[in-house]
């Protein structure tokens, strides 16, 4: 069983490799619903990749499969060189703890803990870690460290979630609609932070916000569970046109 290779030593190797990935869910009638229909892609170290497409096209499912949170039905997913389909539970837990970060639309902070405690919790177990106060300072929230989530705005809560990821220094960050619940100004601030994160590690972001997607290095447009278009350093107009073509 190969141990995960950190991006610090991985050189030009892809951080995530997906080969012929399919994913189906059981249907109520006893059959199956095919959701992903053969996806092949790679994510390079330091790449900022956006995934867009109509609602129900399989974006979240792809994100969860390519991060190892959901098992593939067929095909192969490697994260930092490790096959998540054949890795032991222990190896997967270690991969998630030390190498992978997640950001969700709903922030997923623990309500009873302060911002500092939320950031400190996963970092306490991680192999590499950043002081929680330093991570909060990086997202501009040094003065909110002792606030609980309910006393923070949505944008501030999402920045705490980013600080929580920064504190474990993962090699790759997966984000599902990270700006989906935010107003334009807070969303822009969160995106600025994610783009900054992508300078040092890889970021894969699912989004409905096509302006946000256009800030990525590469945009994948999904349609019916397959890659419909792939755009590199696109102009926002090209992203809008590609998504309109996928609807």
Ligand X SMILES: Nc1ncnc2c1ncn2[C@@H]1O[C@H](COP(=O)(O)OP(=O)(O)OP(=O)(O)O)[C@@H](O)[C@H]1O
Least separation in angstroms between CB 33 and Mg ion: 15
Among 22, 60, 73, 188, binds ligand X (CB under 6 A): 60
Strands 202-206 and 48-52: parallel
Q: Is 59 an interacting residue with respect to ligand X (CB under 6 A)?
A: yes
Q: Is 228 an interacting residue with respect to ligand X (CB under 6 A)?
A: no
Closest CB to Mg ion among residues 6, 60: 60
For Mg ion (CB under 5 A), the number of binding residues is: 1
State whether residue 231 is helix, strand or coil. Answer: strand
Closest CB to ligand X among residues 60, 188: 60
The residue with tokens 């050189």 is: 11
Q: What residues contact residue 131 under an 8 Å CB cut-off, 6+ apart?
A: 167
Q: Is 71 an interacting residue with respect to ligand X (CB under 6 A)?
A: no
CA nearest to 154, candidates 174, 183, 132:
183
Closest CB to ligand X among residues 138, 207: 207
The residue with tokens 């867009």 is: 52
Q: Is 60 an interacting residue with respect to Mg ion (CB under 5 A)?
A: yes
Least separation in angstroms between CB 80 and Mg ion: 24
Do residues 51 and 43 make contact, with C-beta atoms less than 8 angstroms apart?
no
| Among ligand X, Mg ion, none, residue 25 binds (CB under 5-8 Å by kind) | ligand X
Strand order from edge to edge, sheet including 32-43:
32-43, 16-26, 74-79, 82-83
Least separation in angstroms between CB 102 and ligand X: 15
Least separation in angstroms between CB 154 and ligand X: 18
Q: How far apart are CA 205 and CA 176, in angstroms?
A: 6
Least separation in angstroms between CB 60 and Mg ion: 3
Per-residue string for binding with ligand X, 3-42, x by CB under 6 A? ----------------------x-------x-x-------
Closest CB to ligand X among residues 59, 116: 59
Closest CB to ligand X among residues 53, 178: 53
CA nearest to 195, candidates 183, 208, 211:
211
The residue with tokens 């229909």 is: 37
Helix (H) or strand (E) segment spanning residue 108: none
Q: What is the DSSP letter of 3?
A: P
Q: Is 180 an interacting residue with respect to Mg ion (CB under 5 A)?
A: no
CA nearest to 182, candidates 144, 211, 141, 153:
153
The residue with tokens 């419909």 is: 228
Among 56, 71, 140, 245, binds ligand X (CB under 6 A): 56
For ligand X (CB under 6 A), the number of binding residues is: 11
Q: How far apart are CA 65 and CA 90, in angstroms?
A: 18
Among 55, 89, 90, 143, binds ligand X (CB under 6 A): 55
List residues binding Mg ion (CB under 5 A): 60
């Amino acid at each position: 069983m190969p141990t995960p290779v950190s991006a610090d030593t991985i050189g030009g190797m892809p951080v995530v490799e997906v080969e012929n990935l399919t994913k189906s869910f059981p249907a109520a009638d006893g059959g199956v619903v095919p959701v992903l229909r053969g996806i092949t892609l790679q994510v390079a170290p330091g790449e900022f990749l956006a995934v867009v497409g109509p609602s129900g096209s399989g974006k979240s499912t792809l994100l969860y499969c390519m991060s190892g949170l959901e098992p593939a039905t067929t095909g192969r997913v490697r994260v930092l060189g490790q096959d998540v389909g054949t890795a032991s539970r222990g190896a997967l837990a270690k991969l998630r703890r030390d190498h992978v970060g997640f950001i969700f639309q709903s922030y997923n902070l623990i309500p009873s803990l302060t911002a500092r405690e939320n950031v400190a919790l996963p970092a306490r177990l991680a192999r590499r870690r950043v002081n929680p106060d330093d991570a909060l300072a990086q997202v501009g929230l040094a003065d909110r460290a002792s606030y609980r989530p309910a006393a923070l705005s949505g944008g501030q809560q999402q920045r705490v979630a980013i600080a929580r990821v920064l504190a474990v220094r993962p090699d790759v960050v997966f984000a599902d609609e990270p700006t989906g619940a935010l107003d334009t100004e807070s969303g822009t601030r969160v995106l600025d932070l994610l783009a900054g994160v992508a300078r040092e590690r890889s970021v894969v972001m699912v989004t409905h916000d096509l302006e946000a997607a256009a800030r990525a290095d590469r945009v994948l447009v999904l349609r019916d569970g397959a890659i419909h278009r792939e755009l590199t350093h696109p102009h926002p107009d090209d992203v809008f046109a590609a998504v309109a073509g996928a609807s």
